[in-house]
Chain A
Amino acid sequence: MQHLGNDTIIDYLHRELAPGEDAAVLMHLEACADCSVRLNLESAIGGRLRAQAKAEELDLPLGMREAIMARIAAEAAAPTPWERLAAWLRPAVVVPVVAAAALAAVLIPMGTQHAAAPTLPVMYYLEEHAAHAQENPLADRSATVMMTSLERTASTETVPMMQAVNAASLVDSGAR
């Protein structure tokens, strides 16, 4: 009589044999004590693994949920690409940019002909920023305010802004 292979016994134990083969194995097991003992051993190993896993079962560590939710909150607050760019620009770059923009805005009306005079809103914002920058050049809040208004400035006043940026890059590289 051909005995069952170990692999067949394992597949049988896990109920993974095709129906025909499964029935044949069952018939063999009923007639063969040796193979039954081997099946029992495999079955006992499985049972012992489960019992052991259950006995060793751990509770979720305290604070795990909070740690995960904190990481999620941090990830949700992580900067978008635009915010990363903004972060890169502030405040070392932004402050000089604004200062230079303010300077340009002051200088341009005084007789230079290559650009139109800034409109009133632009003047207002630039002066406002210069004041912020002087009060507290490194304050995150003022830098944020400056970024927002820089966007508005850029859309209404291209030429002085370009000059301001050029000036700012000089200021910035000089500062290092």
Chain B
Amino acid sequence: MPRKPVEPSTPEQNAFVERAIEQYGKATYNFAYRLTGNEADARDLTQDAFIRVYRAWRSFQPGTSFLSWIYRIVTNLHRDELRRRKGRFQEEIPEDNAPQEFGGQKPLAVHPIDDYVERQLSEPLSRALRRLSSEQRQVIILADIEEYSYQEIADIMGCSIGTVRSRLHRARALLRRLVLQEQERPQQTR
């Protein structure tokens, strides 16, 4: 694919990228790590993202969030990479039409769940996150870890707010179901 000619790099262009790495490199790398689940892919993704920043530095608008911009770049690169790999590897990530959640109104026993959850949730949540589709995982990372608004997530992921909302609902339903399963397990003498 022919690339459009690159302007000769200027000192300010290099300085822009260096500063961006300094300030946002760690966040970008962690975002990439959460998306991919492994350090090697996260490293590649982070490098590629900053190369894009270098090429497109003029399109960054001062006053807007750099982090949102680079998250969007990472998201797109990750999506491209998954598409590319799909042909070569069996897709291990479930599609977006994840298993349906239980009937939404399942009443829960009234007992304090927070303490239990705080102690026991990590392990099932780690596993559950891996079972989400990449889109669902992205939306969980952006909504629950990075705490972006639905509108900001829509901008980063390049989709509608409605899509953000439904992906988050499905992803949360899956997490909830796994947590509840874990919670019931100790009571069942297996």
Contact = CB atoms under 8 A, between A and B. Distances in A.
Contact of A72 (B51, B147, B149, B169): B51
Contact of A69 (B18, B29, B122): B18
Interface of B: 5-6, 8-9, 14, 17-18, 21-22, 25-26, 29-30, 33-34, 39, 42-43, 46-47, 50-51, 54-55, 101, 104-105, 107-108, 110-111, 113-114, 117-118, 121-122, 125-126, 129, 140-141, 143-145, 147, 149-150, 165, 168-169, 172-173, 175-176, 179
Interface string A2-40: 010111001100111000000000000000011001101
B29 A71 contact: no
A72 B125 contact: no
Contacts of B9: 72-73, 75-76
A60 B26 contact: yes
A64 interface: yes
A81 B122 CA distance: 54
In this complex, the interface size class of chain A, counting residues with CB under 8 Å from chain B, is 35 or more
A6 B39 contact: no
B117 A41 contact: yes
Contact of A41 (B141, B168, B176): B176
Contacts of A60: 21, 25-26, 29, 46
A61 interface: yes
B121 A48 contact: yes
Nearest to B121: A48
A49 interface: yes
B117 A44 contact: yes
Given A41-B113, A47-B118, 8 more contacts: A6-B173, A42-B172, A53-B30, A53-B34, A58-B30, A64-B29, A65-B21, A68-B21
A78 interface: yes
A56 to B, nearest CB: 8
A46 interface: yes
Contact of A50 (B8, B26, B145): B145
Interface in A62-105: 64-65, 67-69, 71-73, 75-76, 78, 80-81
A42 B104 CA distance: 13
Contact of B121 (A3, A45, A75): A45
B113 to A, nearest CB: 5
Nearest to B119: A48
Contact of A48 (B47, B50, B111, B118): B118
A135 interface: no
Nearest to B108: A37
Nearest to A77: B9
Contacts of B150: 14, 16
A84 B42 CA distance: 33
B182 to A, nearest CB: 12
A67 B9 CA distance: 17
Contacts of B179: 41, 45
Given A46-B144, A64-B43, A69-B17, A10 B172 contact: yes
Given A45-B117, A58-B39, A76-B9, A6 B101 contact: yes
A151 interface: no
A52 interface: yes
Contact of A61 (B39, B54, B118, B122): B39
A65 to B, nearest CB: 5
Contacts of A52: 122, 125-126
Contacts of B141: 53
